[in-house]
Amino acid sequence: MYTEKVMDHFQNPRNMGEVENPDGVGEVGNPQCGDVMRITIKVDDEERIEDVKFKTLGCGAAIATSSMVTELAKGKSLDEAQEISKKVVADALGGLPPQKMHCSNLASDGLRKAIEDYRSRHPVK
């Protein structure tokens, strides 16, 4: 059902955990749906994502997409990271089963929320 890449990220997730003293936090999903993701980011002086970590409750796809989104986002500028879409994440994993595209592919939303949280705390002067 899942690609090898999905299974790899599911079994060996990258960047799992929480960034200490995060500059932005994004939480999406709902335990009643079986999926909750929490993305924490550390942003450097040039507004690049210096560090990003995830914690996820959910199925294999939910965990793999969370892991992949952190890998894609690390080192990117906030503007670039904001452009990471569900499709980009799914493609990077070699595809997801259709029923998993929406329900369990919320990691990019979580990342965007973390970036918004950072921006709300650091308004443009």
Partner 1 sequence: MDSAIFLDNAATSRTDPEVVSAMAPWLGDNFGSPATLYAFGSQAKIAIEEARQHLADLIGADPKEIFFTSGATESNNWALKGVADALEGKGRHIITDKAEHHSILMPLRYLEKKGWEVTFLPVDGDGLVDPDAVRNAIRGDTVLVSIVHANHEIGTIQPIAEIGAITREKGVTFHVNAAQTVGHVPVDVAALGCDLLSLSGHKFYGPKGAGALYARRGVRITPLLHGGSQERKRRAGTHNVPGIVGLGKAAELARKNIDAEVERLTGLRDYIFDSIEKNMEDIRINGHRTRRLPNNVNFSIEGIEGESIMLSLSYPTTENARPVYISTGSACVSGSLEPSHILLALGLPAELAHGSVRISMAKEDTREDIDYALSALAAVAERLRSMSPVYKRGNKQCAAGAQGDGCDCEAAS
Tell me the catalytic residues.
33, 103
48 binds partner 1 (CB under 8 A): no
- Other Cβ atoms within 10 Å of 52 Cβ, number: 26
26 binds partner 1 (CB under 8 A): no
99 binds partner 1 (CB under 8 A): yes
Instruction: Check: CB of residue 71 under 8 Å from CB of residue 3.
Output: no
3-state DSSP helix/strand/coil % of the chain, to nearest 5:
45, 20, 35
The tokens describing 16, both together, are 């799992």
Size of the site for partner 1 (CB under 8 A): 33
55 binds partner 1 (CB under 8 A): yes
- Positions touching partner 1 (CB under 8 A) are 2, 7, 10-11, 13, 16, 27-38, 55-63, 99-100, 102-104, 106
